[in-house]
Amino acid sequence: MQLFCSNCNGTLFTPQSNIDNSVILEKLRWESGPASVPEPDEVAPILQNARRDLEEYEQEIHKLDSRRSFLTAQRDRLRDTIFQARALLSPVRKVPDEILRHIFDDRCDTNHFEFDPASRENGSDVSGMEPNASDIPALALSSVCSRWRRVGLAFPNIWARISLKVQNTQLLENFSNLLSRSQQWPLSVTIDMSKASVEITNLECSALFVLVREYPRWKEFSFYSNGWYDVDFFAHRVPNLRVFKSHDIPEMPSAFPLAQLLHFKLDPDDMVIQQTGELSRSTRLISLDVNDFVKDLGAIDISSISPITSSTIEVLTTGSQSVPLVPRLQHLYLNLGARSFKDEAVVEMVKSRWTLGHTMSVAVDRLRSFTVIFRRRGKVLGNMAS
């Protein structure tokens, strides 16, 4: 019996062993004793032919495997070619660099880094640890292709939004790259030390100190701590700071630039903030956002912060009804958790801002939009706009 190739019908080889296996199996099952052992001359040809055929089969299988590997590689290469050729027709390639920069600006919100002091104490090797691509969008987008890299490197704004969570002592290479690629662009900085377990003076976090050296470029600063750290450590030399966000009002040093702030957000985390008098130093605020853990907002002569035009306030009390609250206010959003509220007073206030009287001693802007939400009433009063 000859074996033929299924493709070309050519002869592959002719097997030499044609013995019936059932005969050998029958002898193994039933024959025993000295008389059952065959002569070597009877078995040797069977073994020789079977071994020769086995080698022939192995060679043919090897040829088929090699051919299969070759065909698989060719298939994968063609798939890559098709994928790359289709990419040439991708609509995004037609997008001008100006539009691409807008897309980068929209998608690159904040670049997050975490640093953990406990890793060194535990003997962990974190020097090779890399953040997820979604944590550092500027780096991820600029790694797509040479064009995107060129656009990303020419747009320092997307590299200047940095969030640093102190948990890891190692300075990642990507963190240094991020700062250098932001060039001299104003920085938006978030520092989260709420999980840090050591004093700032003993903290061996080179990334933190590298970031602190960039004080002059800080424009927006968000600070979260566990109460151990003085905000002055971070913000006593920030001539360009305009936005400050925190979940607490620490003891503000006299050097803290409250007077130059344009935007202030206070979002306490399950704690009641009593001391808010520091805000009276923020005489240039145009937006103020506080929540209902702030109990003493009325202690501020908030009417003196005249430039405020937009305010998100979840609790609001005033010590005097004779002076209108925030004369320059144009947009007001109230989110209230109280079960009782003087609706009439709010309505009168809103009406007074839309129908300005001539007897007011302070110039008052017209209220452009007003929204009030009663969280425990389950409905919205307003969302009115002029």
pLDDT at 97 over 80: yes
Question: Strand 379-385 and strand 369-374: pairing?
Answer: antiparallel
Least confident among 151-165, 172-186, 193-207, 253-267: 193-207
Domain that holds residue 105: 95-241
pLDDT band at residue 74 using 50, 70 and 90 as cut-offs: very high
Same domain, 50 and 148: no
Backbone angles phi, psi at 71, to 5 degrees: -65, -40
Q: pLDDT at position 51, please?
A: 86
Higher local confidence (pLDDT), 228 or 59: 59
Higher local confidence (pLDDT), 42 or 311: 42
Question: In the listed set 88, 109, 126, which residue is the last one of a domain according to the structure?
Answer: 88
What is the percent of the chain with per-residue pLDDT over 70, rounded to a whole number? 44
The one-character DSSP state at 16 is -
pLDDT band at residue 245 using 50, 70 and 90 as cut-offs: confident
For residue 92, what are its two tokens? 């995004």
Same domain, 150 and 178: yes
Least confident among 104-118, 166-180, 309-323, 350-364: 309-323
> Could you tell me if residue 108 is inside a domain?
yes
Residue located via tokens 């940095």: 162
Q: pLDDT at position 80, please?
A: 92
Same domain, 73 and 163: no
pLDDT at 62 over 80: yes
Same domain, 275 and 363: yes
Average pLDDT of the chain, as a whole number: 68
Same domain, 129 and 18: no
For residue 382, the cross-strand partners are 371
Same domain, 53 and 153: no
Q: pLDDT at position 236, please?
A: 58
Using alpha carbons, list the distances in angstroms from residue 153 to 161, 179, 188.
14, 12, 18
Range ranked top by mean pLDDT from 4-8, 99-103, 122-126, 350-354: 99-103
Same domain, 236 and 114: yes
Same domain, 220 and 278: no
CA gyration radius for the chain?
38
Query: Collapsing DSSP states into helix, strand and coil, what is residue 327?
Result: coil
pTM above 0.85, yes or no: no
> Could you tell me if residue 250 is inside a domain?
no
The answer for residues whose C-beta is within 8 angstroms of residue 128's C-beta and 6 or more apart is: none
> Could you tell me if residue 383 is inside a domain?
yes
> Could you tell me if residue 310 is inside a domain?
yes
Same domain, 9 and 113: no
E strand or H helix that includes residue 82 = helix 40-88
For residue 4, the cross-strand partners are 11
pLDDT at 224 over 80: no
142-149 contacts: CB < 8 A, separation 24 or more? 148/100
Q: pLDDT at position 386, please?
A: 44
What is the percent of the chain with per-residue pLDDT over 90, rounded to a whole number? 5
Q: Give how many domains the chain has, as a whole number.
A: 3
> Could you tell me if residue 254 is inside a domain?
no
pLDDT at 306 over 70: no
Q: pLDDT at position 290, please?
A: 63
pLDDT tens per residue across span 310-343: 554 443 433 344 444 555 667 777 766 666 666 7
